[in-house]
Amino acid sequence: MSNDRTALVTGGNRGIGLAICKGLADRGLNVVLGARNEDKGKGAAASIRGRGGSVRVEQLDVIETASIAACKERLDADDVTVDVLVNNAGIYPEADALETTIDQLDEVWTVNTRGPWLLVKEFMPGMIDRSYGRVVNVSSGSGSFGEGLDTNHAAYSASKAALNALTMTLDDAIPSGVDVKVNSMCPGWVHTRMGGESAPRTPEEGADTGLWLATLPADGPSGGFFRDRERIPW
């Protein structure tokens, strides 16, 4: 992939998001690292610049509609076009369907599903106009009906199932003949703040499928759900 491509990664300051940022920069893409806390974003960006990568930090809180719109306006003002969007930011409240509070339900829906939806509405039209784009929605096997929903994290599972539905309906909305692809991925159980210390996978291992989907060739898949670069059931 040519190095004139730009990728925006939400929740890019740690964990899987940071691993994806590093991997995309290593592949020659210009990275826009989205972080809710700008100072933490700047700290993460230093590790990317230290290895020769191109990175720009954007304060981006996917829970706030105004924050998403403001990020798009700043990028437009600097003539930065987003060719790759990785919707990585997410939260993982623990509670079954009856224990889940209204506040938990509202927050997990807003971060895990509504935020990615607003971001694709902001950035996918430009991808379609330019006839190139890759959207990667970081989902989870916990949101797969085929693999079995995680009933101990009911709101999370529901939000990821909804994110998968967004992937499928977005794929249907792409005009024919346009090289824009949208896919969901499951990183597996990854050793991050969300995954916990017992998780067997490194962030880099969790990021691999996302990096693959973010850099797919024109004949690559779209509208699918993947783990370890293999399709998994919805």
Active site residues: 156
- CA neighbor of 65 nearest in space, from 131, 11, 122, 123: 122
The structure tokens 């005009």 sit at 175
Neighbours of 97 (CB within 10 A): 13
Please spell the DSSP secondary structure of 25-62, one letter per residue.
Answer: HHTTPEEEEEESSHHHHHHHHHHHHTTT-EEEEEE--T
For the record, the structure tokens of 140 come out as 């989870």
What is the C-alpha separation between 160 and 87, in angstroms, rounded?
12
